[in-house]
Structure 1
Amino acid sequence: MQPEKLGFAERLSYGFGDMGTSLAYNMASGFLLFYYTNVVGLPAAAVGTVFLVARLLDAVIDALVGIAVDKTRTRWGRTRVYFLCTAVPYALVSVAVFHVPAWGQPAQLVYAFLTFKALGILMSCQAIPYTALMPMMTLDRSERLNLSGMRSIGTSVSVVLGAAAVMPLVAALGGGDQQRGFTLVAALFAAIGFACTMMLFRNCRERHHDHTSPDFAILPAVKEMLHNRAWLVVFASCLLYFARFGMMMAATAYFAIDVMGRPWMISIMLPAVAGMLLLSAFFAPAILARTGTRNGAVAALTIAAVLFAALPFVQGHVALFLALYIAGCLATSITITATFAMFAETVDYHEAKYGTRREGLLSAGISLSTKLGMALGTAGFAYVLGAFGYAPGHVTDAARQAIRWTYSGGSVVLLIAQTLVLMLWPAGRPGHPS
């Protein structure tokens, strides 16, 4: 069979489709805790509970969206219709999240929960079909690695905008009013995300379909998913990756300001995450094709764990600290490209084992692991702040030490755990995972 070759416009549109989905969410992940505590004035522990409860509810929401994708049959296909129908609501809610009214604190917490929960639901309605789309576009492994690389580029650009560019834009657009600045930046990102989602809808095509009946029994399908070893490995790996990512995104501003005493480091450390992801997107597919997806990811995680473990011991040498940090970010970035490709293989594995592909349901689980991981990382750090009595402008030594060791030590623990999980990736049939 001849290898499938996708056009550049389709690959590019698929890659930047990730930006349409994740740009607003990256801004929320990196700055919503800061916005709620330092701009709105909400207590950190209460905000952590808002994040955690909202994400726990996604266990039901994401499963329902995934099942809906598997049962959907429209003139636009099974996934693309979701991009068309959710683009406008997602843009509007992403602005509402960063526009908390000047109400009493209990009402503000309710508003924060409802808007953050709505953002998560709408993200599910985009992210799950988006992830399900790749195995429908091509069965060719090399093309999947190329699509994964393009998606990594889209992800990295969204992280640059959603992390490094936020505070400068807040200052520029807000004119000294942070509330106004955050709202305007959210509106700008909403417009960019909308354009990327429409490009995804217009240019990408579904070529390979699950031809089984859409009228399937739900509980047996969920049971099959939970017995798909390849899927379980990707689910756990994503959960651990994004728990670390969420923790670092939320903690970097506090770490740079309160531990290092160098606020300017924020503009290097947050962009480094995206910059290294962008850099790795160009060579990770070639590395993974040579080493095998799992082996390459395990090696990268091992290197990253060693580099992050060294960070607390070089904090007095800023240049060396940043060099090790950036190298660690580069190593972990390779694993994102690997994860995108591995998910597509979980669909093949499922089809070989059960005779049905279930792209939507399998994607729902991965979406849940991503959001739950981000929430656990962000909420966990918020709880650390609350436990050690963090107060803006009056930071105790105990709070500083808690931030310091959570930032590096927590990262190492999660990297080691992710490495162990990937070692369980099935080799060989069914589905030929690599």
Structure 2
Amino acid sequence: MNQPAAKGQGSKVTSSSIPPFGIKDKIGYLLGDFGNDFSFILVTAFLMVYYTDVFGISAAAVGTLFLVARLWDAVTDVLWGRFIDSRKTTQKGKFIPWIFRMSFPLIISCVLMFTYIPGMGEGFYLAYAYVTYILYGMLYTSVNIPYGSMAAVISGDSVHRTQLSGWRTMGAMMANLFINALAPLIVFVDNELSANRMFMTAAVFSVLALACYMGCVKLSRERIVNPDRQPGAGVSIGQTFKALGKNKPLITILIASLLFLMCMLLVGTINVYLFKDYFGSASTMSIFGIIQAAAVFLMMPVLKPLVGKFGKKEIAASGMLFSGTMYIVLYLISNISLTMFLILNGIGLLGFGLFNLVIWAFVTDAIDYQEYLTGEREDGTVYAVYSFARKVGQAFAGGLGGYALAIIGYKEGAPSQTEAVQDGIYTVATLVPGIMYILVFLLVFFVYPLNKQRTNQLAVDLAEKREEK
């Protein structure tokens, strides 16, 4: 017999034979993003320099590739989310089976991206990059959309969902620490990227990603079951997007996420060149990766009391203001030493960590607000729309990195870069994120409508509407 709907969720709860929400779910959900980021962070950090220095593709051409591929991914995100919402629930759930099925081809596509076939022409390498990168993006979508949507059905309790958001971010940061700390020590030989080592690293990380996905599938449990709709039932696509247009929390956080992700990926792309060409030490990326992960880990214990006292909106906005200010300070310091750069950057990353930990909780609020507007839960579709914005951010970040390198005069394969190019790299790595983080602060603080009081009121209003159904 089904139990009453859990608080924060209008759908029914599955059989009580399934264990209650607990540590296994948290670890399982952490492993899901750990698996995602084994490939995602590897691609973010090294694919641009792999294409320019190994394939010999120009930075501008790579920027165009990233832009085209990410925009196509943004479209497939929405299509896949709608597709998942329309599927029937199996004994294993609605989302878990898709993670299991699609993780195998995903990890194969990651290895193919970093496969170098010597002796071919520039046209072949560019075509090969387009095919393998776009294929990877589509397969990544097929795993990430059900994974992200799954948080809403693991538990209906809002506290549990907030915990899942934190554990997900911890999984991403663990992957970030593992890859950024270890990979630069492996893939660079005499400050140059090695094609063979890059391939082996991608293969090993792909196997580890598959193990993480299997752990996610094994440990996670879907407890909330959305009733399967009959053809023509539920909310039409037109009604869904009409409501999305009125969902101010979602629209605001979409724009903020787009700016934040553009900045994060731009920094991830340009930092390879910053440490390799400006500071002359590509291996220092390992130290930076440790510092970035440590900033998030340090913020995790204080997140719950800070959000409980001040609210998600207020904490997230403050974090962005702090980080943006620190990046501008870095830009203003001329002839900075590598040690001082790492120290000041690490301090600024504390604000980055706060925002990064809170962001997924904003998405949950936006999903709840969509239910308030339509009366229906559309977790997969709403999450896919959010992912759409993130993919647009990836598209422009990838393109922006390539175009920025081209504008400042970066020479692919050159043994060294001119002083003007090095200074340009430093400007892109500091001033640009400083400005973008300040813009995110202004957007969240002055435009996002759900402060602490209004978020609590939304929960009350939803509970009343569910009682009336």
* TM-score interval for Structure 1 and Structure 2 normalised by the shorter chain: over 0.9
Change (3 A) 1:37 1:214: farther
Q: Which residue of 2 aligns with 1:165?
A: 182
CA distance in 1, matches of 2:61, 2:226: 44
Query: Does structure 1 residue 274 correspond to structure 2 residue 297?
Result: no
2:324 corresponding residue in structure 1: 305
Partner of 1:61: 76
Q: CA deviation at 1:262?
A: 4.0
Q: Rg bigger for which structure? A: 2
Task: State the match for 1:259 in structure 2.
Answer: 278
Asked if the contact 2:408/2:425 (under 8 Å) is kept, the reply is no
Which range moved further: 409-418 or 319-328? 319-328
Q: Return the letter of the residue paired with 1:308.
A: Y
Residue matched to 1:415: 437
Equivalent position of 1:81 in the other structure: 97
Q: Name the stretch that deviates more: 286-295 or 421-430.
A: 421-430
Q: CA RMSD in A?
A: 2.3
2:393 — aligned with what?
373
Partner SS, residue 356 of structure 1: coil
Matched with 2:404 is: 384
User: Please, which of 323, 339, 359 is the counterpart of residue 343 of structure 2?
Assistant: 323
CA distance in 1, matches of 2:245, 2:121: 44
Alpha-carbon separation, structure 1, partners of 2:168 and 2:22: 15
CA distance in 1, matches of 2:138, 2:306: 35
Identity in percent: 25
1:14 alignment partner AA: Y
Residue equivalent to 1:130: 147
State the distance in 1 between where 2:85 and 2:317 align.
32
Does the Cα contact within 8 Å between 2:24 and 2:219 map onto a contact in 1?
yes
Q: Deviations over 1:210-249 (max 9, x none)?
A: 4372645323322322321121122112211110111111
Indicate the SS of the match to 2:117.
coil
Structure 2 residue runs of 5 or longer lacking an equivalent are 9-19, 462-469
1:187–1:379: structure 2 CA closer, same or farther, 3 Å change rule? same
2:198 corresponds in structure 1 to 182
Is the Cα–Cα contact under 8 Å of residues 16 and 153 in structure 1 kept in the other structure?
A: no
Residues 340 and 46 of structure 1: CA distance in aligned 2, closer, same or farther (over 3 Å): same
Q: Distance in 2 between matches of 1:431 and 1:387?
A: 49
Is contact 2:323-2:349 (8 Å) kept? yes
Aligned equivalent of 1:344: 364
Q: In the TM superposition, what is the alpha-carbon distance from 1:86 to its structure 2 partner? A: 0.5
Please tell me whether residue 244 in structure 1 is matched to residue 258 in structure 2. no
Deviation per residue, 1:129-170 (Å, 9 max, x gap): 111111222232222221111111100011123323212233
Alpha-carbon distance in structure 2 between the residues aligned to 1:29 and 1:422: 26
Indicate yes or no: 2:243 matched with 1:224: yes
What do the CA deviations read for 1:98-117 (whole angstroms, capped 9, x no partner)? 11323211121111011111
CA, structure 1 residues 295+212, in 2 after alignment: closer, same or farther (shift >3 Å)? farther
Q: Is the 8 A contact 2:371 2:377 kept in 1?
A: yes
Q: Does residue 148 of the first structure (1) align with residue 165 of the second (2)?
A: yes
**DSSP 3-state at the match of 1:165:** helix
CA–CA separation in structure 2 for the residues paired with 1:58 and 1:298: 29
Question: What is the TM-score when the length of structure 1 is the normalising length?
Answer: 0.93
Residues in 2 aligned to 1:2 and 1:252: alpha-carbon distance in whole angstroms = 45
Return the offset for 1:177: 8.2
Report if aligned partners of 1:55, 1:375 keep a CA contact under 8 Å in 2: yes
Of 412-421 and 211-220, the range deviating more from structure 2: 211-220
Number of residue pairs matched by the alignment: 431
Query: How many angstroms apart in 2 are the aligned matches of 1:317 and 1:47?
Result: 31
Paired residue type of 2:366:
T
Q: Distance in 1 between matches of 2:283 and 2:111?
A: 27
Q: 1:317 to 1:396 in 2, by over 3 A?
A: closer
TM-score w.r.t. the length of structure 2 is: 0.86
Q: Shift of the alpha carbon at 1:406?
A: 1.1
Aligned to 2:12: none
2-structure distance, mates of 1:293, 1:115: 39
Q: Could you tell me how far apart the structure 1 residues matched to 2:384 and 2:311 are?
A: 26
